[in-house]
Chains A and B, each alone.
Chain A
């Protein structure tokens, strides 16, 4: 199960002698094919290079702030009265989300390849902030593509990226959200192949990105495993993480894929509800297809046109999902549930009031499912939630929905 992807970047294997469904691959324009090959070769060399790994780990420790705590959420556990709930605190990393794990790894790879211009797409802005941050730290140029709609709803992150020296390019095409930002970043890359490295922020895109991003994020699961074994001398029973593209979830799941006793749960964004058609749940409400260089589950029309995703959380607002999740979904190794906007908002509120922790709207989708599940389980069960990011960036949205009687100053001014 941990052997995938194969040499062609596919996740999945033959079944009953017939080729089973396979996800991933390299479905990109010819201009990019040689580059992707170069990145793969450079990455494979870097993986086994002790100097590269030593520098990555040193920065992970002193700059990112790893290892992150595995925190026992005592009052949430009491509230639901069942399984013990632990939070893996990725929100405590430098820049406030797990995105920096991957941004740092890829930026070091870019540096190793002599590419000094970094480009990135961003939805909620957390990946953009992470890339802008490591670009500043390593002395590299940074251009971030961001949907105009997302720029509107994630202002603090936009200003923060500018302060870090990044150029923000607003994308007005299509729905002006994450998928359109990704299209535009790919176009930039095609035009600037000589000096540019595209840091994809999630476990999607053409091979080797899904594998590479997963590997850089897999520190989340490795630490969790070690922390659990040290403290409880056993593995957790359930891991829960939110899934947009799915990088924090893959990072959390990967170290546990071969542990059959550990149940893996991904939470997709159900938006207004699956039945409303306004959601971002590619696995629960989509079909397999090809977008952004890989074969995976997509929200698409009967005619194969990609449809708009809807979620209150910009980071989950993507009509596809990483190909390894598509494989884990089909194989049954992981299960994927959908959580609505309202459920996520309620989880934000509860986590603030019981634990004094403001979670990102993305992570709140996982928190909701943890509470629901914990209430049905006995107290000896252990659930670990990947608290992938902090919610400071979401204050405008959260205020509008949860405290309309206390508008933010921006809204008062408007």
Chain B
């Protein structure tokens, strides 16, 4: 295991990309909270800890409290789930989190409100909204993008929007300074990557294995390690790995080969089992493991 290939460092790739593509006048996603945060972490030779919480889970107050305290516990980026009744790519932990949130009255407007509140006290930690397309379309695509941008959202992960159907939304999002984070799967063939990456921004989310969120296996020795090395050759964007990171050990292992470690189901489960304090404890322990990961060589 080694630190990311320095000849293709994120910072260098990022600068090259900025020169090539930045459009004048638009609020740039290149000088975004995400870009600044990843650049700083790269300087420190540390992977980012990306923590997933479901907006409104288990109730609006606890969700807001957890979100507010995540950065101090060591979260570098916050992924905020937008609950959906039929989350077909999520495992049981995140599915239940969404059901709890919806049962407690969470709405998309409420989720944006939660971001706005967070921004009152933290203007640095990037926030990425993750979810499914239907609630967004119902809200109104343009209205949603404008409201998200105004609330202080930095990026979007839209599980069921493939690049084939995403051109319009991506262009609108980019104009509003919102990064569209592409999902790359183990099944993604090489010929699909250019289209996926061309719409991508902020970072790339590499799904560790075929399955739903929260499945319990992660093998970094085999094909995943090779795939990450190949992916790094093709994009200047930082690469996050998610699905299957459950504890300090697996977080450290991912931190050695990727630019960011995504923890979702494990955190959501901990929140239900032992409340906000428990979830923060897990965050602290994961952050500690990630900070040490590359030093242990």
Residues on A lying within 8 angstroms of B by beta carbon are 8, 25-35, 173-174, 179-180, 183, 186-187, 190-194, 287, 289-293, 298, 300, 302-306
With A190-B212, A304-B108, A306-B85 given, is the CB distance from A30 to B134 under 8 Å? no
26 contacts between A and B (CB under 8 A): A8-B164, A27-B160, A28-B162, A29-B88, A29-B89, A30-B183, A30-B188, A30-B196, A33-B185, A33-B192, A34-B187, A35-B187, A183-B87, A186-B89, A187-B88, A187-B91, A190-B212, A191-B211, A191-B215, A192-B210, A193-B187, A287-B138, A290-B137, A303-B107, A306-B85, A306-B134
Whether A31 pairs with B89 at a CB distance below 8 angstroms is yes
B165 smallest CB distance to A (angstroms): 6
Whether B164 pairs with A289 at a CB distance below 8 angstroms is no
Whether A304 pairs with B95 at a CB distance below 8 angstroms is no
The contact of B137 among A34, A179, A304, by CB within 8 Å, is A304
Instruction: Give Cα A30 to B137, complex, Å.
Output: 19
The contact of B162 among A26, A289, A291, by CB within 8 Å, is A26
Instruction: Give Cα A115 to B159, complex, Å.
Output: 26
Interface code B161-175, partner A: CB below 8 Å = 1, 0 otherwise?
A: 110110000000000
The contact of A304 among B135, B185, B210, by CB within 8 Å, is B135
Whether A26 pairs with B211 at a CB distance below 8 angstroms is no
Task: For chain B, residues 139 to 179, give those with C-beta under 8 angstroms from any C-beta of chain A.
Answer: 139, 159-162, 164-165
Residue numbers in B under 8 Å from A291 (CB-CB): 86, 134
The residue of chain A having its C-beta at the shortest distance from the C-beta of B160 within the complex is A27
B47 smallest CB distance to A (angstroms): 22
Instruction: Give Cα A30 to B200, complex, Å.
Output: 13
Residues on B lying within 8 angstroms of A by beta carbon are 84-89, 91-92, 95, 99, 102, 107-108, 132-139, 159-162, 164-165, 182-189, 192, 196, 207, 210-212, 215
Instruction: Give Cα A183 to B95, complex, Å.
Output: 11
With A34-B188, A179-B86, A190-B211 given, is the CB distance from A29 to B137 under 8 Å? no
Whether B160 pairs with A29 at a CB distance below 8 angstroms is yes
> By DSSP majority rule, is chain B's interface helix, strand, loop, or mixed?
loop
Instruction: Give Cα A293 to B196, complex, Å.
Output: 18
* New A-B pairs, 6, CB < 8 Å, besides A174-B86, A183-B88, A289-B134: A28-B88, A30-B185, A33-B188, A186-B88, A190-B89, A304-B134
Instruction: Give Cα A30 to B159, complex, Å.
Output: 8
Residue numbers in B under 8 Å from A29 (CB-CB): 88-89, 159-160, 183, 185
Whether A26 pairs with B164 at a CB distance below 8 angstroms is yes
The residue of chain A having its C-beta at the shortest distance from the C-beta of B82 within the complex is A304
B104 smallest CB distance to A (angstroms): 13
Residue numbers in B under 8 Å from A25 (CB-CB): 165
Instruction: Give Cα A192 to B92, complex, Å.
Output: 17
The residue of chain B having its C-beta at the shortest distance from the C-beta of A292 within the complex is B88
With A31-B186, A34-B192 given, is the CB distance from A173 to B207 under 8 Å? no
Instruction: Give Cα A191 to B137, complex, Å.
Output: 28
Whether A27 pairs with B162 at a CB distance below 8 angstroms is yes
Instruction: Give Cα A32 to B159, complex, Å.
Output: 11
Instruction: Give Cα A289 to B207, complex, Å.
Output: 26
The contact of A293 among B87, B108, B136, B160, by CB within 8 Å, is B160
With A174-B85, A305-B135 given, is the CB distance from A28 to B160 under 8 Å? yes
Residue numbers in A under 8 Å from B165 (CB-CB): 8, 25-27
Residue numbers in B under 8 Å from A193 (CB-CB): 187, 210
Instruction: Give Cα A179 to B134, complex, Å.
Output: 15
Whether B210 pairs with A190 at a CB distance below 8 angstroms is yes
Residue numbers in A under 8 Å from B184 (CB-CB): 30
Residue numbers in B under 8 Å from A190 (CB-CB): 89, 210-212
A26 smallest CB distance to B (angstroms): 6
With A293-B160, A303-B138 given, is the CB distance from A31 to B210 under 8 Å? yes
Whether B207 pairs with A30 at a CB distance below 8 angstroms is yes
The residue of chain B having its C-beta at the shortest distance from the C-beta of A182 within the complex is B88
- Point out which of B134, B182, B183, B207 has the most chain A C-beta atoms below 10 A from its C-beta: B134
Residue numbers in A under 8 Å from B164 (CB-CB): 8, 26, 33
Whether B86 pairs with A183 at a CB distance below 8 angstroms is yes
The residue of chain B having its C-beta at the shortest distance from the C-beta of A36 within the complex is B162
Instruction: Give Cα A179 to B212, complex, Å.
Output: 17
Instruction: Give Cα A305 to B87, complex, Å.
Output: 10
